[in-house]
Chain A
Amino acid sequence: DTVMTQSPDSLAVSLGERATINCKSSRSLLYSSKNKNYLAWYQQKPGQPPKLLIYWASTRESGVPDRFSGSGSGTDFTLTISSLQAEDVAVYYCQQHYSTPYTFGQGTKLEIK
């Protein structure tokens, strides 16, 4: 199975500042023939299911604010929130959608400093 490892486990950022979360895969998620990285990011707030934010490493899901962006290729990926808002407090997960079994990282808890 593909192991997804996130860093840090938790992060405290001031309102309006940038937040950066990293994700490393145990194998490349680059599907060469399509030139796409099969990496997604989800946001989960307490008591709610995860919400899809980004897929193919950098494509925002419809309705997701543009302060959320994804980057990276191969085995190393980053989720960036350019200007943290209070409503962004949540746990963030990366997930590989390259092959079954689909696997998630352990999560990064984002809080306000």
Chain B
Amino acid sequence: QVQLVQSGAEVKKPGTSVRVSCKASGYTVSSNYIHWLRQAPGHGPEWMGIIHPSDGYTSDAQNFRGRLTMTRDTSTSTLYMELNSLKSEDTAVYYCARDSALGGAYGGLFDSWGQGTLVTVAS
């Protein structure tokens, strides 16, 4: 079955960086794009960006441009999300999610999710 397993919770100070990993298994990993989203307490999810596991193509939301880096390790089917210049407002649960690939290359439908990684930014 499709599995996306994320790394554990992080506590970071303002101005530093965080890297979250997402290991994909149970399907042909090269067939589906992976999205990164985050969810602040009491809010709906917020889309951050997308990466193709094979060719490394990325696209990110304007809100994160310049602060977000998405990479992958094809040998281990692991995706990474790094967010720098952290602020207290970046405190959230961060998710990786698989694109369903319905109707084309990617369609912005998230059919499988990782368990989430809580990132807390506090001084």
* CB-based contact B102/A49 at 8 Å: no
Known: A49-B114, A49-B116, A101-B63. A40 touches B109 (CB 8 A): yes
Q: Is B111 an interface residue (CB 8 A)?
A: yes
Residues of chain B within 8 A (CB-CB) of A34 are: 103
Mostly helix, strand, loop or mixed at chain A's interface?
loop
Q: Which residue of the partner chain A has the closest CB to B4?
A: A49
A101 near B61 (CB under 8 angstroms)? yes
Query: Is A52 at the interface (CB under 8 A from chain B)?
Result: yes
**Could you tell me if A55 and B109 are in contact, using CB atoms closer than 8 angstroms?**
yes
A52 to B97 CA separation, bound complex (whole angstroms): 11
- Does A93 lie within 8 Å of B45, measured CB to CB? yes
Question: How many residues of A are counted as interface, with CB atoms below 8 angstroms from the partner's CB atoms?
Answer: 24
Q: In the complex, what residues of A have CB within 8 A of residue B46's CB?
A: 104
Task: List the B residue with the shortest CB-CB distance to A49.
Answer: B113
Bound Cα distance from A105 to B100, whole angstroms: 20
Contacts of A103 in B (CB 8 A): 47
A30 to B77 alpha-carbon distance, docked (Å): 35
Q: Is B85 an interface residue (CB 8 A)?
A: no
Give Cα A107–Cα B50 distance, bound, in whole angstroms: 23
On whether the beta carbons of A106 and B43 are closer than 8 Å, the reply is: yes
CB-based contact A49/B108 at 8 Å: no
Per-residue A-contact encoding for B44-82, CB less than 8 Å = 1, 0 else: 111100100000000101110000000000000000000
Please tell me which one of the listed residues A50, A96, A98, A105 contacts residue B110 in the complex, with CB atoms under 8 A apart: A50
Flag if A52 contacts B61 (CB, 8 Å): no
A83-107 residues with Cβ-Cβ distance < 8 A to B are 93, 95-107
Given contacts A49-B95, A49-B116, A93-B44, contact A102 B108 (CB under 8 A): yes
B7 at the interface (CB under 8 A from A): no
User: Which residues of chain A (20-62) have a CB below 8 Å from chain B?
Assistant: 34, 38, 40, 42, 49-52, 55, 61
List 6 A-B pairs, Cβ < 8 Å: A49-B97, A93-B44, A93-B45, A97-B108, A102-B35, A106-B43
Task: List residues of B whose CB falls within 8 A of some A CB.
Answer: 35, 43-47, 50, 59, 61-63, 95, 97, 100, 102-103, 107-111, 113-116
List 6 tightest A-B contacts by C-beta distance, closest first: A49-B113, A97-B108, A104-B44, A101-B61, A102-B108, A102-B47
